[in-house]
Amino acid sequence: MTHPSLSTRDLTIRFGGHVAVNRVTCDFRPGELTVIVGPNGAGKTTYFNMISGQLVPTEGQVLKDGVDLTRMPASLRARHGVGRAFQLTNLFPRLSVLENIRLAVQAQTGDGRRFFRPVGKFTELTARAERYLEATKLDRVAHLPASALPHGDQRKLEVALLMAMEPDIYMFDEPTAGMSHDHAPDVLELIAEIKHDKSKTVLLVEHKMDVVRRLADRIIVLHNGELIADGAPGEVMDSQLVRDVYLGNAGEMA
């Protein structure tokens, strides 16, 4: 088995007396898409926040390729290859889709700080941006202002911007929230394609269970902040423990 790219060790956070995430130990490997499920309030987003650096745990560790990220600020973790999709935070609404992606590519290569750029460099940046446009099937809207995109395409643009950062770890927290059933599969397929690059690790919080079963290599289940199941999709979703958790929550998957 390949070495884990990302690990959490006894990761724990308390808010006052409430333990939101409780000693979660888990390894994630390159080429693997792990879906994290669990009822509302289970601690999924909080777990993500401790991995990407929005929250500092009370106890435990976050390791990326063996490097301890636990107390690093989010910006530094991103430079260590931890990439998390956020809803259009780094977007320039009046610039075109292509220009937005090109800026993300430029930021990744570190050329953003250079004032004079040879034309050849600009062409190279554009070529790379166009690859992400194609990968996310946004080429047909390349020249529209980002703000003019329909909701579904905006979510794809978030994926494109994240790809442009070339992280090793891709994290998506309910990327299809608020999307119509027509558009949700597109974005999820896109996310599934990322793992074809065997060097990438994908973590996805998603509740559309039909899709999850198909895309996931592995499912982990959080419940009351604890990791209660971890395994192959069929095995986990059909387990009695997981059924009980969801029946106890009116059968709702979130």
Which C-beta is closer to Mg ion: that of 45 or that of 96? 45
Residue 184: CB minimum distance to ligand ADP, A: 18
Residue 84: CB minimum distance to ligand ADP, A: 14
Segment holding 120, helix H or strand E: helix 119-135
- Identity (one letter) of the amino acid at 161? L
Contact 182, 151 (CB under 8 A): no
Which tokens sit at 7?
């690990």
221 DSSP β-pair partners:
37, 229
Which C-beta is closer to ligand ADP: that of 88 or that of 253? 253
Instruction: Provide the mask over 167-206, with x wherever binding to ligand ADP is found by CB under 6 A and - wherever it is not.
Output: ----------------------------------------
State the residue for tokens 């419940």. Answer: 223
| Chain Cα centroid distance, residue 245 | 25
207 makes contact with ligand ADP (CB under 6 A): no
229 DSSP β-pair partners:
221
Contact 138, 53 (CB under 8 A): no
- Residue 208: how many other CB atoms lie within 10 Å: 17
- 41: partner contacted, choices Mg ion, ligand ADP, none (Cβ within 5-8 A by kind): ligand ADP
Which chain residues interact with Mg ion by CB under 5 A?
Answer: 44-45
223 makes contact with ligand ADP (CB under 6 A): no
Which C-beta is closer to ligand ADP: that of 44 or that of 84? 44
Residue 248: CB minimum distance to ligand ADP, A: 15
Measured CA angle at 71 (ends 177, 36), to 5 deg: 30
Task: Tell which positions 9-48 bind ligand ADP, by CB under 6 A.
Answer: 15, 20, 38, 40-46
Which residues in this chain contact ligand ADP in the complex, by CB under 6 A? 15, 20, 38, 40-46
